[in-house]
Amino acid sequence: MSESAVLSADQGAIRTITVNRPDKLNALNAATLDALLGAFDAAAADPAVRAVVLTGAGPKAFVAGADIAEMAGLRPAEARDFSLRGQRLMRRIETLSKPVLAKMNGFALGGGLELAMACHLRIAADTAKVGQPEINLGLIPGFGGTQRLLRLAGRAATLELCLLGAPIDATRAQQLGIVNRVVPAAELDAEADKLATQLANAAPLALRGILDAINVGGECAIEEGLHYETAQFGLMFSTDDMREGTQAFLERRKPAFAGR
């Protein structure tokens, strides 16, 4: 039996989900998209998981793109279904109630960049390359790239990356707001672990409230977003975590959040 295309492993409250097709540079075929969706559903349902790290197997790629060999034979209706399958996954990640950190250890191109952009935070090795090269195949991004890149990097950068199809390095990606942090490749694992641990130790209900408020605010008028933020703010005052956090601050100690 061949090894699974998606692996999940827990270290404390952190679940690492790994796209495990290093011989294909972790390219996303339909089966891998489905396996990733299942992995994120499982992470969402597990109360022991407080943060998720998403990465790719091997030294070269986070995810180098969608699987071109599989895409090449698709008919138009099948291609639309493939796009919808990818977009379902990206939206599942984006709306997950637990923070997801993309650990970009190499190429994040096409569907790989779309996958990373669906995550809440992105940390990249300084050797990583990102881009939307679909134009070079006579295609356009199909997993949400035109929309999420627009929201992260703005119109000018989105047009450049999508129309020219050339990859950019991690430093420029950070300058454009696509990547949150860039670190030397040798330090990527340690820095990602540090960030994931910080997220896992934070108040889970407050994390969920922040993610929900930002997701709502990104899709509506500011008045509606502000109303939702106020509702979430008030709701936090019904939680044990809020009482623990404020008491720990007054007592000058680290809080121990329980997610209640």
Q: What's the pLDDT at 219?
A: 84
Mean pLDDT of 152-172: 97
Domain total in the chain = 2
pTM of the predicted model as reported, rounded to 2 decimal places: 0.94
Mean pLDDT of 22-36: 96
Q: Are residues 13 and 131 in the same domain?
A: yes
* Alpha-carbon separation of residue 253 from 109, 247, 249, 257, 260 (angstroms): 43, 9, 6, 12, 19
What pLDDT, in 10s, does the model give residues 4-14?
Answer: 999 999 999 99
Q: CATH no. for residue 240?
A: 1.10.12.10
Mean pLDDT of 138-160: 96
Mean pLDDT of 168-176: 97
In whole angstroms, what is the distance from residue 123 CA to residue 241 CA? Answer: 28
Residue 96: strand, helix, or coil: coil
* Alpha-carbon separation of residue 204 from 1, 43, 241, 259 (angstroms): 38, 14, 8, 5
Residue 215 sits in which domain range? 203-250
The pair phi, psi for residue 69, each rounded to 5°, is -60, -40
Q: CATH no. for residue 60?
A: 3.90.226.10
Query: Does 178 have pLDDT greater than 50?
Result: yes
- Is residue 88 in a domain? yes
Work out whether strand 168-169 and strand 129-131 pair parallel, antiparallel, or are unpaired. antiparallel
Mean pLDDT estimate for the chain:
95
- Is residue 258 in a domain? no
Query: Does 1 have pLDDT greater than 80?
Result: no
Residue 121: strand, helix, or coil: strand
What pLDDT, in 10s, does the model give residues 209-221?
Answer: 999 999 888 888 8
Query: Smallest Cα–Cα separation from 158: which of 217, 113, 200, 207?
Result: 113
Q: Are residues 216 and 118 in the same domain?
A: no
- Is residue 207 in a domain? yes
Residues 81, 103: contact at Cβ < 8 Å?
no
Q: What's the pLDDT at 220?
A: 87
* Spatial strand order in the sheet of 181-183: 6-11, 14-19, 51-56, 100-104, 121-125, 181-183
Q: Are residues 21 and 128 in the same domain?
A: yes
Residues marked as catalytic: 114, 134
Residue 3 confidence class, pLDDT cut points 50, 70, 90: confident
- Is residue 255 in a domain? no
What number of CA atoms fall less than 13 Å from residue 13's CA on the CB side?
Answer: 21
- Is residue 154 in a domain? yes
Query: Smallest Cα–Cα separation from 132: which of 63, 206, 214?
Result: 63
Mean pLDDT of 114-129: 98
Matching residue, tokens 């998209």: 33
Q: Are residues 13 and 53 in the same domain?
A: yes
In whole angstroms, what is the distance from residue 222 CA to residue 211 CA? Answer: 16
- Is residue 1 in a domain? no
Q: Are residues 87 and 189 in the same domain?
A: yes
Instruction: For residue 145, give the H/E element and its range.
Output: helix 145-153
Q: What's the pLDDT at 138?
A: 95
What pLDDT, in 10s, does the model give residues 181-209?
Answer: 999 999 999 999 999 999 999 999 999 99
Mean pLDDT of 139-161: 96
Instruction: For residue 81, give the H/E element and its range.
Output: helix 76-94
Mean pLDDT of 39-52: 97
Q: What's the pLDDT at 217?
A: 84
Query: Smallest Cα–Cα separation from 117: which of 80, 153, 83, 82?
Result: 153
Q: Are residues 194 and 246 in the same domain?
A: no
* Percent of the chain with pLDDT strictly greater than 70: 99
In whole angstroms, what is the distance from residue 39 CA to residue 4 CA? Answer: 12
Q: What's the pLDDT at 2?
A: 57
